[in-house]
Copies of this chain bind each other. A is one copy, B any other.
Amino acid sequence: MIGHEIHSLARRLWSIDRSITGDGVRETLGIIKDILPSLEIHEIPSGTQVYDWTVPREWKVLDAFIIDPTGKKICDFQKNNLHLVGYSTPVNARMSLAELQEHLYSLPEQPTAIPYITSYYKERWGFCISQQERDALIDGEYKVVVDSELFNGSLTYGELLIKGKSQREVFLSTYVCHPSMANNELSGPTVATFLADWLTRQKGKRFSYRFVFIPETIGSIAYLSRNLGVIKPRVFAGFNISCVGDDRDYSYLPSRTGDTLSDRVAKHILSHIYPDFKSYRWTHRGSDERQYCAPGIDLPIASIMRTKYGMYPEYHTSLDDLENVVTPEGLEGGYTALYRALEAIEHNIYPRVNVLCEPQLGKRGLYPTLSTKSSGNEVRCMMNLISYSDGTKSLLEIAELCECPVWELYPLVEKLTEHHVLILSDDPQVMS
């Protein structure tokens, strides 16, 4: 089961100190490159203007911890990198509990969880701690150490183009900036890695597939500011890959317009995999589709997810782990939904029947020779496919009209094409 392989990769990446910049991202991309050797690693220098934003300084943490009045080390970054507020500035000081409290973050309603907090664009320092541990802190003098650096370095991302027959591309994006959390977000880069690996091995693909592994928000903005001119005319579909690892739900979040091929594919696949999937609105967005679908960017990027960010209790806390939240089964489900979606895009041809009136399937051995009360049902699906194959409908539209999963039509299309009953054309909007 591929879910186990994906889960193993996630375990391997678990404890790396990731943020929107820094060696943690580089180490993560290095491990992914072991599986995807063609992955290209790019660096964008700190201070680079990227649309309305500026690439921040690189952040490096050597160590971070607090020594409590009894001499015990708490909030130890070495043990859990969520303890340190992302992009904390250096500090080495002694202070009272009252002073320290102003730099502590915890979740009263989730007393065992360490929250995930960042402050990328305002200089401050802070520690994240479980409410339970915080409540047990005693008065006295605390020693606080954040041995971090903020320096002019660069922002790192990975990119992989898997070429097919056409230059038209499907765009897949996932992010590599989150520290030790599982569904949001080790599930995205690990599932994306295995999707890319699968696509690399497919022969005769109609389309090209571009994967980017980036830090969220600043990464997608930086990427777009460099590459929009190249990808805009090529990309006709794509997905943001996030939260694809737990086994509780399936979710769809639309592109901004909600009517792209990506949207239609996502809804079709999910409705046949899990009819009760959650359908969100654009106003519920929260990941890099915010950039990909922004006015003027307008890429056709939708999201297929398991349980959506913000919609499960462990979200953005230390409870979002690889034991209780993300499982091999969950990852397998996320992988399969995306695999089915990419496959549907590959197979989305426009079939046209090659004869007027119904073809006589009997003489081709494709129809029962005896007409009985129920014989019609056996070949109904094939007859419906033929009937809708008027050259104006994509296979996806035909599957919707037939109320069947599009993947059930692939073998029928193949058989009818072999028998010269159907002729296949490209989607005129994709292949114009």
Residues of A within 8 A of B (CB): 51-53, 86, 105, 107, 115-122, 124, 217, 220-221, 224-225, 228, 256, 282-283, 285-286, 290-291, 293-298, 310, 315-317, 352-353, 355-360, 362-363, 369-373, 376, 380, 383-384, 387-391, 401-403
A124 to B298, CA, bound (A): 63
Can you name 21 A-B residue pairings with CB atoms under 8 Å?
Answer: A51-B355, A51-B356, A52-B356, A52-B357, A52-B358, A52-B359, A53-B357, A86-B371, A116-B373, A117-B372, A119-B370, A120-B371, A121-B360, A221-B357, A224-B357, A225-B357, A256-B388, A283-B401, A295-B352, A310-B376, A315-B373
Taking a contact as CB atoms closer than 8 A, the residue among B290, B295, B317, B373 that contacts A389 in the complex is B295
Given known contacts A353-B295, A373-B317, A52 and B122 CB-to-CB distance under 8 angstroms: no
- Give, as a whole number of angstroms, the nearest-CB distance from A405 to chain B: 15
Minimum CB–CB distance for A391 against chain B, Å? 7
Once the chains bind, are A358 and B290 in contact (CB under 8 Å)? yes
Question: What is the CB-to-nearest-CB distance from A204 to chain B, in angstroms, rounded to a whole number?
Answer: 28
By secondary structure, the A interface counts as loop
**Interface pair B295/A390, CB less than 8 Å apart:** yes
Residues in B whose Cβ lies below 8 Å from that of A121? 360, 362-363, 369
Evaluate contact between A373 and B283: CB separation under 8 angstroms. no
List 18 additional A-B contacts (Cβ < 8 Å) besides A52-B358, A53-B360, A298-B390: A51-B357, A52-B360, A53-B357, A107-B373, A116-B373, A117-B370, A121-B363, A121-B369, A217-B358, A224-B356, A224-B357, A225-B357, A283-B402, A291-B357, A293-B387, A295-B387, A296-B390, A316-B372
A373 and B115 contacting across the interface, CB-CB below 8 Å? yes
| Residues on B with beta carbons closer than 8 Å to the beta carbon of A120 | 371
Residue contact B356 to A387, C-beta cutoff 8 Å: no
> B115 touching A387 by the CB < 8 A rule?
no
**Given contacts A359-B52, A401-B282, are A372 and B115 in contact (CB under 8 A)?**
yes
Contacts of A310 in B (CB 8 A): 373, 376
Identity of the chain B residue whose Cβ is nearest the Cβ of A126 in the assembled complex = B370
State in angstroms the CA–CA spacing of A359 and B384 once bound together: 49
